[in-house]
Amino acid sequence: MSKPKILMFAPREEPKSIIQDLEGKGYELVWGDKAWTLPRGEHEGPLTEAARDTVALMGTSIRHTPISRRVMEASQRLRIVAKYTVGVDDVDTDAATDLGILVCHAPTEANCFGVAESTMAMILAMLKKVVERDQDVRAGKWREPYHGTTFLGARSDGYQGITIGLVGLGRIGKRVAQLLAPWRVNLIAYDPYIPPADFLLAGVKAVDYETLLRESDVVSFHVVLTKETRFMLRDAQIRLMKPTATIINTARGKVIDEADVAQAIKENRLRGAAIDAFEEEPLQMESPLRSLGHRVLMSPHSASFNEGGELRPGIAWATRSVISALNGIVPDNVYNREVISKWKERFGGAPVIG
């Protein structure tokens, strides 16, 4: 009798202990094709074929070849799609829920700290005009006047008077608040799912979304992509903001409308933006964001990347999730929790092996 198959859908050098753990429990690991991660080409067919008769799909992001309904329907035995990362944008979670399949993510501390640190770097780079000054020196300028600026750098009393608004006060938002505390900024946050005590402990004032947009000099997004957060910043919301405000997005590309942001910057209705995640990745060459010079700081969706194997904790978390699901146990970190009752009906707590 053949061993139950687990498809590792985004190939990567895995820790040997993870491979040994899964293979030691009697599963066969099937490795995906590196081409699935590339931005060009049609890879859904090969991925679907590889997913046939699998009991689990496991890996990191492959945004150019999403885990679609077609992929998940390739196996009636499929119990779980387990991601190494916090984001599940590349998984059709509605289809997974409809099919009775668990989708698990890995909101690890390593990811949280890396994104928070990159957010801090972006905030300070924009407020201190790091990119603008670099470009000036390269162009032969020297201490040219910075027209229309609001932030000339830290005064002797720090950044008091500057309001930074955090949209989302989960693990990353709280860490950003912690890192900002010594700068003595005015911190406000919007998150309807966080209890009041969490705002108090994080040292931030709870406000509604419109108030945050109106009052903030910097608006930083730290939300997962849901139906509620998709394009939560468009032209209508931008018009509530100060024309001197800056946007930071280290969350998900489709949280903000890039075209609306670019147009507002072009029309001087926003001071600038620092963006790590984009609506389409890689960023399209024709994107209007590319033409805005130092007013837009961009990063290739790498805010969480830190030296030292930042995915290892996520891999370990995903492995535990897969082992639990294949033993008939619901993991703790299920993203589509509304599927749990249906999943239990499908598999009845029965292990795959045993």
**Distance (Å, whole) CA 10 – CA 20:** 18
The reply to whether 281 belongs to the active site is yes
Starting at the edge strand found earlier in the chain, the sheet holding 205-206 runs 205-206, 186-190, 163-167, 218-221, 246-249, 272-275, 296-298
Dihedral-angle region of residue 68 (phi above 0 means left; psi in -120 to 50 means alpha; beta otherwise): beta
The reply to whether 301 belongs to the active site is yes
Query: If you search the block for the tokens 């930074």, which residue do you land on?
Result: 164
Q: Please give the single-letter amino acid code of residue 96.
A: A
CB 320 within 8 A of CB 83: no
Q: What are the C-alpha distances in Å from 313 to residues 14, 87, 109, 303? A: 11, 15, 8, 16
Q: Which of 79, 105, 222, 252 is catalytic?
A: 252
Q: Please give the single-letter amino acid code of residue 175.
A: R
Peptide bond into 192 cis (omega under 30): no
Q: Which of 281, 310, 312, 320 is catalytic?
A: 281
Strand partners, 5: 28, 54
Q: What is the CA radius of gyration of the chain?
A: 22
Q: Which of these, 349, 301, 310, lies nearest to 329 by C-alpha position? A: 349
Q: φ, ψ for residue 211 (rounded to 5)?
A: -60, -40
Q: Please give the single-letter amino acid code of residue 70.
A: R
The reply to whether 105 belongs to the active site is no
**Cβ neighbours of 245 (radius 10 Å):** 24
Residues that are catalytic: 252, 281, 301
